[in-house]
Structure 1
Amino acid sequence: MPRITPCSRRWRRTAALFVLAAAVLLVPAAARAGEVHVAVAANFTAAAKEIAALYEAASGDRAVLSFGSTGQLYTQIDQGAPFEVFLAADRERPRRAVEEGLAEPDSLVTYATGRIVLYSRDPGRVTGETALRQGGSGKLAIANPATAPYGAAAVEAMQALGVYGALESRLVRGNSIAQTYQFVDSGSADLGFVALSQVIGHHRGSRWVVPFRLYAPIAQDAVLLNAGRDNPAAAGFLRFLQGPEARAVKEKYGYGAAD
């Protein structure tokens, strides 16, 4: 039986470490890819999922997406949630994140402009603004205007039409634009103001794309948060969001060009 000396033990350990290092170098890049945690406004759900898949295919980095209303997401960020990129449905919260030292000042970018739609699952229900002037006791769904920019835009449009006072008692408020859409699509509400991106891909029901003369276009900003400052995957995702592949996805879902 060969005698094992301290020298031979050291040699074996060195050889084992060399083999391990070589194995790590041989691991495909995708297996060692980075990861970025992204807080995404609910209106951008479908588009963000497609963009994240394209980003992973292009870079090997994985985008982990969390969805909610802009106000809810901002509260989580302010309370220390480990998000690295914030895709809001307004300009206010990303700018506030910068002002409060939660985000990188030079990273602010407007990535899309959104629109609201009056929607019903009833094919003959919505033919224009007259759907808001008809009597009845049916519910009208909007996103909570205090936390969701799309809800604030809905209130602005109703006020511009002079119907908000008459409709206020019929309003049901979703926590996010995603929940608002569910209220309408499930029949819990007869009508609802939803995001164009939520209905542009299907032909169910009826809809009216609310003209910009009734509300300010919904400019949506993104920002690199402090948690993503040293993560190349976070900066990479933000760059990709502004590129041609992401732009095509945004146009597909009815988003206007960034200002």
Structure 2
Amino acid sequence: MKPSLSRLIAVLGASLLACAAHAAEVQIAVAANFTAPIKDIAAEFEKDTGHKVVAAFGPTGGLYTQIKNGAPFEVFFSADDTTPAKLETEGDAVAGSRFTYAIGKLVLWSATAGYVDDKGEVLKKNAFRHLSIGNPKTAPYGLAATQVLDKLGLADAVKPKLVEGTNITQAHQFVATGNAELGFVALSQVYKDGRITGGSAWIVPDNLYEPIRQDAVILARGKGNPAAAALVEYLKGPKAAAVIKAYGYDL
């Protein structure tokens, strides 16, 4: 083997070892509504950086409880801004790392085409048997749904028909499987690249519920992990922004 080729192989080998040495793994807790976007973002992040993302999904309230009970999460993607702020105040998050990664939107959705009109009049007609929402105590989108019903003066009328999912994923599943004719879900669950992906929907006007500001924060366990810091920065970049917008979120 020629010396020059030997040196080239040695350099390439050293480079690969250096990349492997700098690659790290980050464990993240993600609010259920952000499941599809973070999977797309994580795939690109892993290709671009070499780091690995291990994600767990659930309702914001449930993930908070897991974090407080010692779950090994290093970055938290919440469906609200109050829970990450609370963790920061309680010393469970890295001070100054919190930021808003998306503004969520609520949608009234049915798996049946033509069932939900574009003004939400189907709610006032009250001809359905079941209306699915996320648990308002643990899921910010469920809380937003109750705010809409209150604003419209329909809370008492539809209360006997409410079916609560433990998180927004289960609320969506109730509608998708036909166990509820319609439900309030995250727009990101039924929207991609500028359109509703199936069924029928009413995108709820922003003035009917409090803004769903979704904050992320590096947790205490993630302090010093280069993959955690890199992922947070990646979420602020153009590639992640394009994915987030594609799923119907505002920035």
In the other structure, the counterpart of 1:160 is 151
Residue 229 of structure 1 pairs with residue 218 of structure 2:
no
In the other structure, the counterpart of 1:200 is 191
**One-letter code aligned to 1:56:** E
In the other structure, the counterpart of 1:8 is none
Kept after mapping to 1: 8 A contact 2:126/2:158 = no
Deviation for aligned residue 1:26: 6.0
TM-score w.r.t. the length of structure 1 is 0.87
**One-letter code aligned to 2:148:** A
In the other structure, the counterpart of 1:150 is 141
Deviation for aligned residue 1:230: 1.3
Deviation for aligned residue 1:24: 8.2
**One-letter code aligned to 1:110:** T
Residue 63 of structure 1 pairs with residue 53 of structure 2:
yes
In the other structure, the counterpart of 1:214 is 208
TM-score w.r.t. the length of structure 2 is 0.90
Deviations 1:47-81 (A, max 9, x none): 00011011111110011111001000000001000
Residue 243 of structure 1 pairs with residue 205 of structure 2:
no
In structure 1, distance between residues paired with 2:15 and 2:126:
69
Kept after mapping to 1: 8 A contact 2:116/2:122 = yes
Kept after mapping to 2: 8 A contact 1:123/1:205 = yes
Instruction: Give the match's secondary structure for 2:57.
Output: strand
Residue correspondence of structure 1 range 10-25 to structure 2 within 5 A: 25=14
Report the number of matched residues. 236
Kept after mapping to 1: 8 A contact 2:128/2:181 = no
Residue 139 of structure 1 pairs with residue 133 of structure 2:
no
Gaps of 5+ in 2: 1-10
In structure 2, distance between residues paired with 1:23 and 1:58:
19
In the other structure, the counterpart of 2:168 is 177
In structure 2, distance between residues paired with 1:179 and 1:62:
27
Gaps of 5+ in 1: 1-21
Deviation for aligned residue 1:206: 0.5
Deviation for aligned residue 1:105: 1.3
Kept after mapping to 2: 8 A contact 1:29/1:60 = no
Query: For 1:38, which of 14, 17, 28 is the aligned residue?
Result: 28
In structure 2, distance between residues paired with 1:23 and 1:256:
43
**Percent identity over the alignment?**
49
Kept after mapping to 2: 8 A contact 1:114/1:196 = yes
In structure 1, distance between residues paired with 2:152 and 2:126:
15
**One-letter code aligned to 1:34:** A
**One-letter code aligned to 1:241:** L
Change (3 A) 1:103 1:209: same
Query: For 2:247, which of 245, 248, 253 is the aligned residue?
Result: 253
In structure 1, distance between residues paired with 2:18 and 2:162:
51
Deviations 1:165-204 (A, max 9, x none): 1001110111111111100000010110001001113532
Kept after mapping to 1: 8 A contact 2:132/2:183 = yes
In structure 1, distance between residues paired with 2:124 and 2:19:
55
Query: For 1:79, which of 69, 93, 96 is the aligned residue?
Result: 69
Larger Rg: 1
Deviation for aligned residue 1:29: 5.2
**One-letter code aligned to 1:226:** A
**One-letter code aligned to 2:59:** S
**One-letter code aligned to 2:244:** K
In the other structure, the counterpart of 1:12 is none
In structure 2, distance between residues paired with 1:24 and 1:54:
24
Instruction: Give the match's secondary structure for 2:157.
Output: helix
In the other structure, the counterpart of 1:121 is 111
Q: Root-mean-square deviation (CA), in Å? A: 1.6
Instruction: Give the match's secondary structure for 1:106.
Output: coil
